[in-house]
Structure 1
Amino acid sequence: MASGQSGTDQALAHVETLDHLLDERADIVALLDRTSLLRETSHCIRQNTGLDLGYAAALECPDLLVIRGWAGATGAALRNLEVPRGCGLGGKSFALARPVWVPDYCSAANITHEFDAVIRSEGIGAMMAVPLVHREQIVGVAYAAQRGPASLGDVVIRQLERVTEPVGSALHLARQAGEQTTAALAAERQRIAIALHDSVGALLFGIGAEVRDLQADTDVPPQLVAKLRAVEARVAETAAVFRQSLAVLDEVTPDQSLAATLRGDCEAFTRRTGVVARCVALTDLPALDPSRCSTVVAVVREALVNVEKHAHATSVVVSLVTAGDGLAVAVADDGLGWPDAAVAGAESASELGARHTGSAASSSGMGVKASYDRVARIGGALSIVGNEDGGLTVRAWVPSP
């Protein structure tokens, strides 16, 4: 009996642990999904301020907020409402980068009134708005509102600020997670497109070639030749439709293609070498044209090749970050270094490449020189530095177009 009771207790304990893990998973999913995050924020605003409505907007273009979360609204007018910088109360909070409030929205003289019809449809009088900030950058705006005119003092503003203080960073994280997912999907689409091109595309080409060979056979009756020509036309038509489908499947923007390509390179490196390689985007990436993206890819691939051949590393991290008016990429390993590689700024990449001439040039020296030339041609810079804890880091910067 005691043993049975003990087993029951253990089972209940496991169930409780599972419930706890499921709750944590739900919380994480809510944080990483931007819309869920904004809606949860709106409910928290309403609960903590005691006002009638709470809603939240995310920055979706450089000068445009879109309301994606709401709580307490009776109609749909606020849902997905676009708010340009400077327009209405939220747009003013965005433009001034500080909290603003009005006792009666529609009669307020210090804001614009593009949204009065929406405000009236909800019976809103008093309203306040505070910017959502991540590292001094505005990523959205949160609102609290009361039906009917009211005086909203400093206490309510502090409550709203306290509720929304962590939301800016969470919203940034959710956006990053969304972009990582988009990049992963782009990589998978590219992989599928390549696989289909190499399999189905080759098969269609082979069928077409065989049909043409049969037509050229003098022993084939004329009636069959006519049918073969019809089959060849159908195969050609199918191949054309197939190519169009592949083009749509492989249709990604250059920056998505860059992130997807580098993640794919890191995954291939890990499968090939057994050394863990990761690619992380530390910030939103600037828009780069295909030629600059191809330069970044070439630099990273050359660095990975040298890590594989020479470094004896156990891990590699490829990081991407916006720097100045361009993109910085770093390939850092924890290995023993490469033969003849410049470290700690001892010499520039150009000097490193210039030292390796003739047939005696090492693969790392020739590759680094080629990378340096690629980056220099578009006005960028490349260097190799030693890490304090061992290994090397290849750093490249390419300017935006």
Structure 2
Amino acid sequence: MTRTADSLRPRDADALRAELRRIATATGAPVAFGGAVQAGTLVLSEFIGTRTNGMRGLAVQPQSGLGGRAVASRRPTSVADYRSDATITHHYDVPVLGEGLRAVVAVPVVVSGESRAVLYVANRDPSPIGDRIAEFMVQAGRRLSLEFTIRDEVDRRVRLHTAQPRRPVVPVADAVVTEQLRDLHAELRGLTQEVSDATARDRLRAMSERIARLVSGVAAPDDPVTLAPREVDVLAQIALGCTNIEAAQRLSLKPETVKSYLRSAMVKLGAHTRHEAVVQARRHGLLP
């Protein structure tokens, strides 16, 4: 059965909830919640620290309430006291005040100029939420934006690949798409070194591994070989034709370090040349 881009993509709601958990744990915020924007409407679906179900499934229209204003402006917004604030509409006072929320910050997750989700933190006291918490939320929004951007690009390329007619007359088109996926794989492997957040790095690596399996067609090789993440990073660059120096520049490593990782990977793969190492890595589903 052919797997579609949608079936390959992890649930965005899981990534959203993971960021909310991180916000609540790191900042001590009593309430954190959020949801995805669907056809322009924000739908609240993820909650931490709430006492009621009044906001679950709430559909927030653009420009309405605090979240709707964040969606429309694509900028963080806040109120010190939701009950009395005159800068927002009060369409959703019943569920929000029913939860006892007063001070609220809403941060949109913006991808390609559009709000795709909104993260909230809230207090039950009418006092402004501190700058430290607000800045942490902005960082969380950026992490999700990067995550969704990468997922969108993977989806786009997978759809492009799977949409190619399976006829002998299009081998060149298939080869081009394969090379594009290999470029994306190498780019993702390199990007992991630029991301300081461990969870984001793990997600990027998981995405690159899915691309490798998709292109190689290898689900579970009979003689599996395990390479260290850095060894795969180096091989991904070598597969694009990079020299050790070029791979080192792309991965922010020293050429000697790249050479060491390459030598180790070659031993594990039973390869005698760089080219053979790439071929063997693809045979094992480690590279696309």
Q: Under TM normalisation by the shorter chain, which class is it? A: 0.5 to 0.7
C-alpha distance 317-167 of structure 1, shift in aligned 2 (>3 A): same
Q: Identify the residue that residue 161 of structure 1 maps to in structure 2.
A: 138
Q: What is the correspondence of 1:291-302 to structure 2 with a 5 Å cutoff?
A: none
State which of 164, 170, 189 in structure 1 corresponds to 2:147: 170
State which of 90, 112, 115 in structure 2 corresponds to 1:113: 90
Please say if residues 54 and 71 of structure 1, whose CA atoms lie closer than 8 Å, have aligned partners that are also in contact.
yes
Report the AA paired with residue 147 of structure 1: R
Please say if residues 89 and 100 of structure 1, whose CA atoms lie closer than 8 Å, have aligned partners that are also in contact.
yes
Question: Structure 2: any 5+ residue segments left out of the alignment?
Answer: 1-6, 180-240, 242-288
1:126 aligns with 2:103: yes
Q: Identify the residue that residue 49 of structure 1 maps to in structure 2.
A: 27
CA distance in 2, matches of 1:80, 1:175: 25
Runs of 4 or more off by more than 4 Å in structure 1?
172-181
| SS of residue matched to 1:80 | coil
CA distance in 2, matches of 1:30, 1:144: 31
C-alpha distance 31-161 of structure 1, shift in aligned 2 (>3 A): farther
C-alpha distance 318-144 of structure 1, shift in aligned 2 (>3 A): same
State which of 136, 155, 162 in structure 2 corresponds to 1:263: 162
Q: Identify the residue that residue 175 of structure 2 maps to in structure 1.
A: 315
State which of 78, 102, 105 in structure 1 corresponds to 2:79: 102
CA distance in 2, matches of 1:30, 1:154: 38
Question: Structure 1: any 5+ residue segments left out of the alignment?
Answer: 1-28, 184-258, 273-304, 320-388, 390-401
Q: What is the correspondence of 1:212-361 to structure 2 with a 5 Å cutoff?
A: 263=162, 265-266=164-165, 268-269=166-167, 272=168, 305=169, 308=171, 315-317=175-177
* Structure with more relative contact order (C-alpha pairs < 8 Å, separation 6 or more): 2
The count of aligned residue pairs is 175
Shift of 1:178: 7.6
User: For residues 200-227 of structure 1, what are the alpha-carbon distances to aligned partners after superposition, in whole Å with 9 as ceiling and x for unaligned?
Assistant: xxxxxxxxxxxxxxxxxxxxxxxxxxxx
CA distance in 2, matches of 1:37, 1:77: 23
Please say if residues 30 and 49 of structure 2, whose CA atoms lie closer than 8 Å, have aligned partners that are also in contact.
yes
CA distance in 1, matches of 2:8, 2:67: 24
Report the AA paired with residue 117 of structure 2: G
1:58 aligns with 2:36: yes
Report the AA paired with residue 55 of structure 1: F
Q: Identify the residue that residue 36 of structure 1 maps to in structure 2.
A: 14
Greater strand percent: which structure? 1
Identical amino acids, percent of aligned pairs: 27
Larger radius of gyration: 1
Please say if residues 9 and 155 of structure 2, whose CA atoms lie closer than 8 Å, have aligned partners that are also in contact.
no
Q: Identify the residue that residue 152 of structure 1 maps to in structure 2.
A: 129
